[in-house]
Amino acid sequence: MNVFKGCIIQCDENNSVAKYLVEHDGKIVFVGNKLDDEYSMYPVTDLENKAIMPSFVNPYYQISKEGISVLSFSKFYLDTVNLQLTNGISFCNYILESDFLIPGTSNDFHANFCTLFSSEKKKSRRDENQVFVVDMGQIQDSNVQELEIAHKLGKQIFIHVDSDSYFDMAVSTLSKILSDSKNNEIGHTIVVDSSIHDVDFKSCRKFNIGIILKNDFSKDFYFPIGNCIRSNVLLSFALEKMPYEYLLNSILSADDSLKTSLFEIFRCLTYNSAKICHAENYVGSLEKGKFADFVILNQSPYACDKEKLSDIKIEKVFIKGNEMSVLNQSAISALISGVFKRK
């Protein structure tokens, strides 16, 4: 039984900040502002000026068959796990392009492995853990038919786009498929690979189409993150290479299309990402019954100036209540360096 006292940032839908969190057998058994009597007999870890928030979730990491052999995949996978743990990530949604042997892991890291769906393979109809991935620029009539088959079989669809026109086409394609269906809860998602400027989010909201930003986030990158969030569209980030400056700029921005809040950014990195992975019932927020997956920050982000958020560091990472080994580096530097970059 572990009892923590301090700033507990839950990242739930109410933007709750609690005073106590209790973990037992890898699960959160209590979170609130007044500790229940049944837990008062246990030692309390006082965080003082530090804070706890959910560990991060990466909703999309596609592993290309190029450059990685089936035999070398196990080592590659373990390397990525170690790097992710260092950066406060406890869950990754791997998209496999080849028939890799799924490795085991010696820690509690949450790895969800998805293989590419193809209607030509009979086994695809039986394998539930498959997704359909396609570039919008390469979609032809045959691809649309396969998209429809994938949807009918309950497969999650990811469409990559790299322009405003392709984004609109992706929304239109998915909207047509979903408008003729009674099942809009699969979580089809558009993966944005480059700047998008003029976006109508109404259809995304109507048909529960999610959005993942996956880019090098250079100075020229633009996406109306503020408009997206205010439209109640499920927005997330692939944590492959995400500079904190981009997020900080969106918090401080005077441009309404970009401006967002610290809480909304946290939700994108945690709960929203978990929901895209269909894992929101056990990770992504600090709530009773979920896994005790969280990070301890060296100071509360709600107690410092926004301009100094880059000084916040990840001190410890817990997965299922177990402390993982991490480096005491800046959470910002971790994101900037690209959490999946191989040394």
Q: Which residues on neighbouring strands pair with residue 63, listed in sequence order?
A: 96
Residue with the larger pLDDT of the pair 3 and 305: 3
CB count in 10 Å sphere of residue 251: 17
User: Mean of the per-residue pLDDT values for the chain?
Assistant: 84
Question: Can you tell me the distance from the alpha carbon of 117 to that of 228, in angstroms, rounded to the nearest whole number?
Answer: 29
Residue 167 has pLDDT above 80, yes or no: yes
Question: Can you tell me the distance from the alpha carbon of 144 to that of 148, in angstroms, rounded to the nearest whole number?
Answer: 6
Q: Which residues on neighbouring strands pair with residue 27, listed in sequence order?
A: 24, 291
* Residue 237 φ then ψ, to 5°: -130, 135
Residue 343 has pLDDT above 50, yes or no: no
Nearest to 189 by CA among 247, 221, 141, 235: 235
Q: Among the listed ranges 31-40, 59-68, 128-137, 157-166, which one has the minimum average pLDDT value?
A: 59-68
Residue 340 confidence (pLDDT): 32
Residue with the larger pLDDT of the pair 237 and 84: 237
pLDDT digits (tens, 9 = 90+) for 232-264: 999 999 875 445 667 777 887 888 888 888 899
**Which residues touch 211 (CB under 8 Å, ≥6 apart)?**
189, 190, 192, 204, 228, 233, 234, 235, 236
Residue 128 confidence (pLDDT): 64
Q: How far is CA 252 from CA 169, 247, 260, 288, 307, in A?
A: 32, 9, 8, 33, 8
Residue 235 confidence (pLDDT): 95
| Residue position matching structure tokens 């109809």 | 125
Q: Among the listed ranges 42-46, 173-177, 325-329, which one has the minimum average pLDDT value?
A: 325-329
Question: Can you tell me the distance from the alpha carbon of 246 to that of 260, in angstroms, rounded to the nearest whole number?
Answer: 12
pLDDT digits (tens, 9 = 90+) for 201-218: 999 999 999 999 987 777
Report residue 342 CA to chain centroid gap.
20
C-alpha dihedral sign at 257, 272, 241, 73: negative
Q: Which residues on neighbouring strands pair with residue 93, listed in sequence order?
A: 112
pLDDT digits (tens, 9 = 90+) for 97-154: 766 666 655 467 888 888 888 766 545 444 567 899 999 988 877 678 889 989 998 9
Question: Can you tell me the distance from the alpha carbon of 262 to that of 251, in angstroms, rounded to the nearest whole number?
Answer: 7
Residue 103 confidence (pLDDT): 60
Please tell me what DSSP assigns to residue 311.
Answer: G
Q: Are 297 and 51 in contact (CB under 8 A)?
A: yes
Q: What percent of the chain has pLDDT over 90?
A: 50
Element (H, E) at 273: helix 271-276
Residue 53 has pLDDT above 50, yes or no: yes
Question: Can you tell me the distance from the alpha carbon of 84 to that of 92, in angstroms, rounded to the nearest whole number?
Answer: 9
